[in-house]
Amino acid sequence: MKKVILIVSSIFALMALSGCGDSPKSKTVTYKYTPAEVYKETCAHCHGDKGEGKVEKKAPAINKKIVQELEMDLFDIKKGGLGQSTATEHEVMEHNMQKLTDKGYDYDINAMANYIFNAFNINK
Ligand code: HEC
């Protein structure tokens, strides 16, 4: 089962890299920083250098989630929906994200999910 999930995630990662995951209608947004830069400069502060989470910040570990789970979380966080993968509302993160966006630390959901998975996932 784990293998299947890994293969599926790799396909998604490849699609993201080759750009065919993007819908032709989506407008092109240019981001000031790469996901790695955004993570290092903002997310790491609460989620740790390796996505291991920080108890004192109440920030959960994000190093065990697969790309799709991360995408759903990040989508909820950015669009203000209900958590689909964890059933939490991500209210804290939504608030954080708004502040980060205001400072120019915006990111592409797919690119950030792939970055977090590839850089930190401990189960892959
Ligand atoms: C000020 C501290 C803080 C910063 C900065 C921060 N987070 Fe969070 N994050 C949290 C907290 C607290 C939660 C749990 C509560 C929630 O989901 O609202 C969370 C939840 C999450 C979740 C959902 C995890 C889960 O299991 O539900 C993801 C994914 C996430 N953050 C990614 C990021 C990314 C990517 C960044 C950088 C752009 C970031 N966070 C920056 C504190 C932070």
User: Would the pTM count as exceeding 0.85?
Assistant: no
The reply to whether ligand 1 has any atom less than 6 angstroms from the CB of 86 is yes
Which CATH topology does 2-18+33-120 take? Cytochrome Bc1 Complex; Chain D, domain 2 (1.10.760)
What is the residue extent of each domain of the chain?
2-18+33-120
Q: Give the pLDDT of residue 22.
A: 52
Nearest atom in ligand 1 to the alpha carbon of residue 85 is 27
Nearest to 50 by CA among 97, 115, 2: 115
Mutate which of 34, 46, 118 for ligand 1 pocket (most atoms within 8 A of beta carbon): 46
Q: Tell me the per-residue pLDDT of 28-51, one tens digit each, with 9 for 90 and over.
A: 778 999 999 999 999 999 999 999
Nearest atom in ligand 1 to the alpha carbon of residue 90 is 18
Is 95 or 18 the better-scoring residue by pLDDT? 95
Q: Tell me the per-residue pLDDT of 61-118, one tens digit each, with 9 for 90 and over.
A: 999 999 999 999 998 888 765 545 554 567 777 888 888 889 999 999 999 999 999 9
Nearest to 119 by CA among 70, 81, 78, 83: 70
Q: How far is the CA of 118 from the centre of ligand 1 (A)?
A: 18
The amino acid occupying position 47 is H
| Dist CA 58 CA 49 (whole Å) | 15
